[in-house]
Amino acid sequence: MNLATWSVRKPTPSVLLFVLLTLAGIWGFRNLGVQHFPDLDLPTINVMLVQPGAAPAQLETEVARKVEDAMATLQGLKHLRTSVTDGRVAMYAEFDIRRPLSDCLLDVKDAVDRVRKDLPADVEEPQVNKVTIAPGGPMLTYAISHSAMDEEALSWFVDDTVSRAVLRVPGVGQFTRVGGVQREVQVEVDPARLAAVRATAADVSRALRRVQLEASGGRGQLGGAEQGVRTLATVRRAEELAALPIALADGRSLRLDQVATVRDTTAQRTQAALLDGKPVVGVQIARTRGYDETRIAEGIAQALEALQRKHPGMGVTVVRSTVDFTLEQYRGSMEMLYEGAILAVLVIWWFLRDWRATLIGAAALPLSILPAFAVMAWFGFTLNTLTLLALAVVVGILVDDAIVEVENIARHLRGGKSVLDATIDAVEEIALAVVTTTATLVVVFVPTALMSGIPGLVFRQFGWTVVAAVLASLLVARLMTPVMAMWLLRGGHSHDADGRWMQGYLRMAGWCIRHRKTTLLAGLAFFLGSLALVPLLPTGFVPPRDEGSTSIAMELPPGASLERSLSTIEEVRQAIADVEGIRAVFATVGAPPLASGPGSGPLIGELRKGSLTLVLAPRGERPTQQQVEDAVRERLAGIAGVRLSIGQGTGKKLQVILASQDAPTLRATALQVERDLRGLPFLSGIASTASLERPEITVRPHAALAAERGVSTQAIGETLRIALSGDVDTALSQWNLDTRQVDIRVQVGDAIRHDLDAIGALRVPGRGGVLVPLSSIAELRVESGPAQIDRYNRERQVTINADLGGYSLSQAIEERNALPSIRSMPASVRLIESGDAELMVEMLGGFAMALLTGILLVYAVLVLLFHDWFLPITILSAVPLSLGGVFVAVLAAGYELGMPVLIGMVMLLGIVTKNSILLADFAVMAHETRGMALVDALMDACHKRARPILMTTVAMVAGMLPLALGLGGDASFRQPMAVAVIGGLVTSTGLSLLVVPVVFLYVSDLEAWLRSFLPGREKAGK
């Protein structure tokens, strides 16, 4: 007695099991989060090191290289990106996906601690943090206003009140204000008056910090009780600072207003935000990995509504929301699932014309999908494009086993058996085939689900969802389908005569068996022709998606001011103002963008850089996003003096990284490559980091004169830093208010910073406290130096980015590799694949290995289940017959051979073997059990298995038809996979019904010939 016959005789345990699985599935569905895509990024650690006033070249030598060398031996380190700017080193370490993020954090901290003693003494304490922000940038962008507040008050209101309310929402990972200003007390010292009292700006800043202070220490015991002791020496109002006496280091004292003017104002503006050209205070919110986007958005909306009720003058404008796109994709995917299920059920009815049999097949869908939801919740998956796509694609497969069993039961009923006998005989007859087909699908996805890297993350969620649903469908077919057949089906069916299509098929199958060589050669020719199409297929990683918004990255030459950046931003906005489909433009200048995904590297805000987020109209009211980007690209072609890069996300950029230890050769090579890339007509927005030279004022002390007057280089650097920009933030004096601290910054006036002679006239302390004019002991010149130094895996690197503009990534890589500058590259310079190109290479390599492993596992499963070494060869012969349909369909539809198509090919490996298993298993049974001749057994199998094979294929095609038509939101990922699977199914089904019987005969002859050398042996494998 097998499982199916046991369930027929004792249905109660089976029914109870599926009641519990259904309840678990409902619970799982309610607890599953909603995302657009899984969080596809590697364990990442950020390291930030700050040395105030240090130049990039100095930081590279004294800080960056030492820390990189310490981290080089860390286990699982995949990539190490470093960005060196003025006074700051930002490092971005990516680790192998198998390493826990907490372990990576501890390893990096240990490495930095080991080298800390070798770093310069004035390097601030290193900051080492794990990256928990989800990739993709901010999920929500708001513009905040208040009718009763000026810009400074509104900025503090956002930093304090709004941030506290939003950060309380579970899942919010980062809250960033863009635009606005920061309150600051500025103490503007007069160099002439300072010289008169023999003091410097540094003296005033340090003295102010010693006086303007609240300190605690000691304990008092008055009246038998214990009291804490605090020293309070802070002013209550900023105006009181002017009359504050300060003590200098040499014992002298003076009032602050003797040498300075005190103003309660705002700090120098370092960023700005504009909505449709109007200044705003913006807020960008990013989520933590693994959290439900929609629930976070709901929580934030409720928090902001509560704030608006509490603060009536507050206004909130939603500028951009990725949640809308996520919900659109979720609803679209669910609709595809429903529509595919309905079409699959209609196919069952159309073939069987029996509402009872149709109901049994239809019941397999919810009974299979609901347990899959429980497994998804257990694994920590979410309802995203991949997992919902997996369920939508396998809709036809889920009813497959039920269709086979119902059709087999119906065939036995037509033979005049009772319902009980027909059910038991049918499920026993088909048991091995049903188990085998499910097992092949399961083992196909095991190696793909265990792939490493970013592609492995995709296959993991997709693969395990498919496996869970398919295993549930096997349980349904073995336990519930026989029970429901017993309850619903009726006997007394007469034998149906073969239709015209069956008679025609049997004639074709008979002709193929009689003309074996011709049939086999035709199948081989079809396979070779399929392989010939491969060079014609462009390859890529993930297709670019239409998500309702796009961006323009702006970069001006180093040294550009905030005013120039704002002027350029406005020029760009006006140029694209009338492009069809753009609803709003949100622009930022100087704000550090949030990381957008793997490989984005350290991101630091600069006044010369900005971005424009183009919020598009709803999908049905505008052209496609690609068309909008093309129109924008045309409008911006005439704007000179600025680098503009259009588009964001995967599938839209070509990234070229050149790395070398020889900086001059690297720079020269990068310039040649950039020049050659500009000659490729399909590329635009080409930007290189090689030419980032910025103007800088250099101060070169005359060693003899400085030593003669007792002036140290350290004193020169410290005096200039404090006078021109104020002391470092950690050393600034603070003005304490009720709810915050305001920086007190000591520096000279703007006029002096604009005059090189005035800077040279600044005094620096010399021997005996004598102040010496800077120009008397040093040479001041305006020169140029690197604005930023980028490093990749411990080498200097130059990154060149280019917009593909819809062009294929693989074709762009081929064109790039054919450039003269690439082919004649110096030996000291290496070309590194990065970005989408790196992921594409990793994906293709991992996929090839996973596919080969999958084929071996399928063969192993077939050998174990059939106890035969040769029959699996017959069954697997259907796999090559599917390739032609895949390649022709993908080529005709104009898609790339990327991740969606490769997922479809993995699915086909398991699906197409199902048809061969049904055919071969029945033929073996007829030949060995009923003693039929091999050819007659094959013809009988073709006769009795063609109908269920065709039914399952049409059901699978119908289930994927809504996906292939691109219905429901953005179909850029779903559509290529569905087209590939449908194409492969059509050719493999049509050809396997004709070619597999011929292969069966040839393999049987081969087996007989080999067995002739082993007389007396049973069939191999038994």
- 501: burial class by Cβ within 10 Å (0-12, 13-18, 19+)? exposed
Residues 200 and 79 occupy one common structural domain: no
**Last-in-domain residue among 786, 810, 826:** 786
Q: Are residues 164 and 308 in the same domain?
A: yes
Over range 285-297, report the average pLDDT: 87
Q: What is the DSSP letter of 158?
A: I
- pLDDT tops 70 at residue 960: yes
Residue 701 lies in a domain: yes
User: Is residue 594 pLDDT above 60, yes or no?
Assistant: no
CATH number of the domain bearing residue 187: 3.30.2090.10
Single out the residue in 132, 149, 166 at which a domain terminates. 132
Extract the tokens encoding 976.
């290529």
pLDDT at 110: 93
pLDDT at 897 (0 to 100): 84
**Rounded percentage of the chain residues whose pLDDT exceeds 70:** 95
Asked if residue 180 has pLDDT above 80, the reply is: yes
480 and 619 assigned to the same domain: no
Element (H, E) at 922: helix 899-928
> Which helix (DSSP H) or strand (DSSP E) does residue 744 occupy?
strand 741-748
Q: Are residues 873 and 929 in the same domain?
A: yes
Q: Tell me the average pLDDT across 821-845.
A: 80
With 90 as the cut, is the pLDDT of residue 244 above it?
A: no
Q: How many CB atoms lie within 10 A of CB 116?
A: 15
**Is 558 a member of any domain?**
yes
Q: What is the pLDDT of residue 691?
A: 60
Q: Give residue-wise pLDDT tens across range 116-171.
A: 989 988 888 899 988 888 777 788 999 998 888 888 999 999 999 999 999 999 98
Angle at alpha carbon of residue 228, lines to 224 and 229, rounded to 5°: 115
What pLDDT score does 4 carry?
65
pLDDT of residue 600: 42
Q: How many domains does the chain have?
A: 6
Residue 667's pLDDT is what?
87
Whole-angstrom distance, CA of residue 103 vs CA of residue 410: 59
Domain membership of residue 200 as a residue range: 183-217+229-266+694-786
Reported as a single tens digit per residue, the pLDDT across 58-108 is: 899 999 999 999 999 899 898 899 988 888 899 999 888 878 888 999 999
Pair (123, 145) in one structural domain = no
Do 516 and 564 reside in the same domain of the chain? no
Query: pLDDT averaged over the chain?
Result: 83
Structural domain contains residue 833: no
Q: Do 730 and 607 share a domain, yes or no?
A: no
Is residue 182 predicted with pLDDT exceeding 80?
Answer: yes
Kindly report, residue by residue over 256-273, the tens digit of the pLDDT. 888 888 888 888 888 889
Indicate whether 1021 pLDDT > 50: no
With both helix axes pointing from N to C terminus, report the angle between 355-379 and 385-393 in degrees, rounded to the nearest 10: 150
* Residue-wise burial string across 583-602, b where 16 or more C-beta atoms lie within 10 A, e elsewhere: ebbbbbbbbbbbbebbbbbb
Per-residue pLDDT reduced to its tens digit, 460-478: 888 888 889 988 988 888 8
Mean pLDDT of 843-865: 83
* Residues 172 and 303 both lie in one domain: yes
Quick one: 288 and 161 in the same domain? yes
Confidence of residue 1019 (pLDDT cuts 50, 70, 90): very low
Range ranked top by mean pLDDT from 350-354, 484-488, 531-535, 925-929? 531-535
When pLDDT is cut at 50, 70 and 90, the band that residue 596 belongs to is: very low
Of 244-248, 597-601, 806-810, 813-817, give the lowest mean pLDDT range.
597-601
In a domain, 798, yes or no: no
Q: Would residue 50 count as lying in a domain? A: yes
Looking at the domain assignment, is residue 408 inside a domain? yes
Give the model's pLDDT for residue 1016.
53
Task: Provide mean pLDDT across the span 14-26.
Answer: 91
Q: Would the pLDDT of 334 be above 70?
A: yes
Taking the model in full, what pTM does it have?
Answer: 0.80
Residue 268 burial (10 A CB sphere; 0-12, 13-18, 19+): middle
Are 628 and 747 members of one domain?
no
Do residues 369 and 481 both lie within one domain? yes
Which residues lie closer than 8 Å to 963 by C-beta, 6 or more apart?
Answer: 336, 340, 389, 392, 393, 971, 974, 975, 977, 978
CATH of the domain at 577: 3.30.70.1430
Residues 167, 79 share a domain: no
Q: Is residue 698, in this structure, part of any structural domain at all? A: yes
The pLDDT of 785-794, averaged and rounded, is 84
Query: Last residue of a domain, which of 347, 374, 404?
Result: 347
Residue 529 lies in a domain: yes
pLDDT at 604 over 60: no
Q: Read off the tokens for 980.
A: 């590939």
> Does the pLDDT value for residue 1011 go beyond 90?
no
Mean pLDDT computed over 523-550: 84
Q: What is the CATH number of the domain that holds 413?
A: 1.20.1640.10
Answer for the pair 319, 141: CB distance below 8 angstroms, yes or no. Answer: yes
List the Cα angle 823/828/829 in 5-degree steps: 55
Report the pLDDT averaged over residues 222-242. Answer: 81
